[in-house]
Structure 1
Amino acid sequence: MKNTLFITLFFLLALPAFGQETGVYLTDANGNKISQFNVGDSVYLEGICPSAGGTAARIYIAFDKTWKAGDELRDVSAGIEVLQVPSNGTVARTKIWNYALEGAYDTLIDTNNDLILQDYESCIIGKTDMGFRVGSPPPPPPVVTPTPTPVAPIPTPTPPSPPMPAPTPTIISSPPSQPSQIFSLGAHVEVKNLANVRQVPGGSQIGQQTKGALGTIAGGPVQASIAGIKYWFWNVDFIDAPDGWVAENTIQAASKPKPEPEPTPEVVEKSEPEPEIKVAEAPVEDKKPAEKELAQISETTQGLGLNSFLGSLIIGVAILFGLVIGSSIIARAIRKN
């Protein structure tokens, strides 16, 4: 019972995958599958390409041949379309040729962008036979009507005429578009509203620049297609990253950006200290020395007076002592006599 339930559930889940159509095909603008186009028609591609899931695949239109791994891919439609394929491999209806030229062609999807057909790159329209034709189809071989012959003789069958060879496709080169002359190298530009910045013209997007972003033209113009529509691309060196290729209709001329003024160094004025004015004070006469001198003179005078008195006293005493001694000597002398 469990096995039966498991098998039933498996088929219910796998049924949508089995019913999903795989492969890519060509259509007209209304989505009708066709392989015969008129000169000047637009050619569209859609379908499912599992090997291109999750890649930015390039779609090539090449002359009809039998393709094998290792063949070089060359586009003859004057523009390689780059398509971002979601992980489920769904290829939305995309215009791959704006003005078809007469001839027989094949369509190939290069998933790794190496310009070489690989074994796993299986999304090919016309791998072993013709993918599609532009212009009048080759005339069918003539129908040979056997000539009636008499019954008696054995009729000799008339060999059928060889089929008419297919006409050699005439390649009509469309006149090249005149390069845009809106900008020139070194011109200053700004973003109008929003610009997608790409690594190469029409290639994968690497970032965006918002309104008013300024830059300088560094290369271009180069024409490339996005979703079948051709644009002129310019290589812009923006002031702020990222730099790269932007569509011409997303930028406009701008005046030369003014350089940011360099900051003016602040000058700090050092106030010099005012010179100290020294007032010369007149010397004040010190009266004390004079007073001291007077005191010294007075003391000296007093000392001299005292000394004179003592000297006089000593002299007087000496004279008196001498008189006494002399008198004593004289008296003795007289007594002896």
Structure 2
Amino acid sequence: MATLEELASLVKGKVVGEKDLEITGVSGLDTAQPGELSLIAAAKVIPVARTSKAAAFIFPSNLREFKFKGIEVDNPRLAFAEILWHFHPKKTYPEGIHPSAVVGADFKQGVGCHIAPLVSIGGCVKFGERVVIHPGVVIQDEVEIGDDTEIKPNVVICSGTKIGKRVIIQPGTVIGGDGFGFERNNQGKHFKVPQVGGVVIEDDVELGSNVTIDRATTGQTVIGAGTKIDNLVQIGHNVEIGKDNIMVAMTGIAGSTKVGDRVTLAGQAGINGHITIGDDTVVFARGMVISSLPANSIVSGQPARSHGEDM
């Protein structure tokens, strides 16, 4: 529980109405109960807000004329997220290794690590501090995981992978499986190209459920700091992804492509191999990018072209 004034201070907002109003939780407009705080992100939801049972609202400054009580902020979605964390803080886990976990030789860990039941950890693995490993995770040899990283159930992290700090990996993801590399020989058979490189996941990355990130043929497949990848995304071998990207569900990036910073790939976007995607580019849902794009491109369609042209 917190007062409206306390929550406004948390998000650097302005109280509109009773500053001592006690808020018991946070909910959506349709489901909010008396005492709860809800979100008005845009004018189109005002009719729903008028009938909501919420005690108060977070709303943007440009809607102050509608005289809602609550907290006025510049970015209501961000403020709502910050207040959600206040009412639902990150869970903490006891330090220790469960007896059913299997840990290889020369395992090193910092203070505060939690290793859950039925985890398998290979040899020469290194953890930083406060690493949390959930049940059923498999971590192969020579993996490094940084401070405050959390690995959810049934993730597989293959040998040689390097994971930074504050990374979150959702259930079922596989990092460092072999890249899809084959050459046809003189007999017309597919000859497997050894995949001997690795994967680097930089700080503050989040990977959704059932993401697959292939190890490099040689060198590294790289996911840049702050990048967020949704469920069911495939990243091919030797792909290099920059910082603070958003990649929505079922996107696929073929091998050896370079993606810049702050790129948005919407759902089911397909990116060809051996090309470059410039900084701040947006690819709309199901966009099929077959050639390199300069910075600040906005494309859609199959094959992808300027979004205005596609329309």
Q: Hey, which of these two has a bigger chunk of helix by percent? A: 1
Confirm or deny a common fold (TM above 0.5). no
Give 1 or 2 for the bigger CA radius of gyration: 1
Question: Could you tell me the TM-score, scaled by structure 1's length?
Answer: 0.18
Question: Could you tell me the TM-score, scaled by structure 2's length?
Answer: 0.19
